[in-house]
Amino acid sequence: MSEFDAFFDAAIAAPEAPAKPEIRTRIRPDDWEPEPEALAAGRGTVGTVLLGKHEPNSPAWDYLRATRLGGSEVAAVVGLSKWATPYSLWHRKAGMRHGHPLLPEEDIGDSPMIEWGNRLEEVVGEKLIENHPDLSLVASPGTFAHVERDWQLANPDLLGDDPDLPDTDGQPRPVIGEVKTAAYGHAWGADGTDEIPLYYRCQCQWYMDVMGAEYAILCVLIGGNDYREYKIPFDLADALYLRSHGEAFMKSVRDGVEPPVTGGFVDKDAVQAMWEPALEGGDVQIPREVALAYARAVAAEKAAKIEKATWVAKIESLLKGDRRAMLNATPVAARTNGPHGIYLRPDAKLSAIATAASLEAAPGLPSAITPDIPPWVRQAHMDFEVQLTWLVENVQTAEDCVAIVRMLGRFMTKTQKNNLRKLWKEKAA
């Protein structure tokens, strides 16, 4: 038996459910712990006030959220949201209080994926209700505020109670139900665990803190056919972390103390949405470090544009009279019509090619591939399946197949490994 064959035998003999990168189940940073007195005091008063039932983004909904912090917003406060930052969220709140230009809710788009995700949530929620008849879960129960911390808001998808978990008065404790959909499962743990994306964990802990629940059940439909449930226990330390940061954030809104810009397109879009660019007016002095950082970014952008133009010209010269540039089976770029004529448009899969190139794996996956786990596998927002598909499509030698298994074997299913072995045998023949 060859060394390669032995390696494949060992890889394919791995468990059917391969190990995945660790999914963090703690919201608070490793260097943050609540004061012992706060932990000893427990969660404090338990009680809520029903503020009403309102359609999302209606005037009544906006009014309730103007002076309160909701579960879908708290992740932004602690820097764990994909859709908002402290800066953008602050201006959305402050616009209703201090006369600032009102920043609208983040636009998550109207793509088919968003549309069908919204349509399916009701069906997925019905499945959760069906699976737990003992919890008496009710959909869209309304908008609640904590009885003492009026600024702390909860809009759970489902609300029920657990008869086996009474409170100090002998009444069943509430149970939170949350419903999600996802295109891919790489950011989610196995069914029955508590491994969910951190921004959803923030939402669950926030709702449990408001409602006095001991656990939440979050269900998700992945890829349209993979239904999973996660039981999230209440974590007092995480709740205190979110509560303290949320309280400080809402105080800054009341006091008009703006948080700093944290960077990225979210804050850039927030500024542009609030202030209409002016062509008149005076000069504004800015800090030296801001000016220097901006100058470096502009220089880097200019250099990148020059480099891109060079390679656009190279691809155009190779295309001649044809339309699309390919790397083996993967599209790279194609000519298309634009407002100023025909131009070369990069393909949607180009990010996968760039990722592989950063690993010195393009083209043809040379022997420079190492057994190290690539950084993009650890990043929950990257699509592991797309990356793996691209690597397999561009295999040129039997050694390339072995390199893929060494690098990604622990994340691959048994079927994926077997398919790769078949390809390895073809290349080795």
Reported as a single tens digit per residue, the pLDDT across 206-221 is 999 999 999 999 999 9
Residue 363 preceded by cis peptide, ω within 30: yes
Whether 42 contacts 236, CB under 8 Å: yes
Least confident of 76-90, 258-272, 369-383: 369-383
Residues 222, 155, single domain; the answer is: yes
In tens, the pLDDT along 301-321 reads: 888 888 888 888 888 889 988
- Pairing label, strands 138-139, 153-154: unpaired
Residues 297, 267, single domain; the answer is: no
> Does 150 fall in a domain?
yes
With 90 as the cut, is the pLDDT of residue 359 above it?
no
With 70 as the cut, is the pLDDT of residue 116 above it?
yes
Query: Mean pLDDT over all residues of the chain?
Result: 79
pLDDT at 220: 96
> Does 329 fall in a domain?
no
**Residues 67-75: what's their mean pLDDT?**
94
Instruction: Pick from 7-21, 81-95, 108-122, 154-168 the range whose average pLDDT is largest.
Output: 154-168
Residues 166, 237, single domain; the answer is: yes
In tens, the pLDDT along 314-349 reads: 888 899 889 999 877 677 889 988 888 888 888 766
For residues 409 and 377, give the distance between their C-alpha atoms in angstroms, rounded to a whole number. Answer: 12
- Pairing label, strands 324-327, 48-52: unpaired
CATH of the domain at 134: 3.90.320.10
Residues 241, 134, single domain; the answer is: yes
Least confident of 3-17, 240-254, 274-288, 317-331: 3-17
> Does 110 fall in a domain?
yes
Q: Could you list the residue range(s) of the whole structural domain that residue 88 is in?
A: 36-274
Domain tally for the chain?
3
Instruction: Name, in order, each residue with C-beta under 8 angstroms of 205's C-beta and a sequence gap of 6 or more.
Output: 27, 232, 234, 235, 238, 239, 242
> Does 219 fall in a domain?
yes
Residues 402, 293, single domain; the answer is: no
At 283, is the pLDDT very low, low, confident or very high (cuts 50, 70, 90)? confident
Residues 300, 176, single domain; the answer is: no
Backbone φ, ψ for residue 336 (5° rounding): -150, 160
> Does 333 fall in a domain?
no
With 90 as the cut, is the pLDDT of residue 73 above it?
yes
Least confident of 4-13, 97-106, 274-283, 290-299: 97-106
With 50 as the cut, is the pLDDT of residue 358 above it?
no
**Residues 135-143: what's their mean pLDDT?**
94
At 269, is the pLDDT very low, low, confident or very high (cuts 50, 70, 90)? low
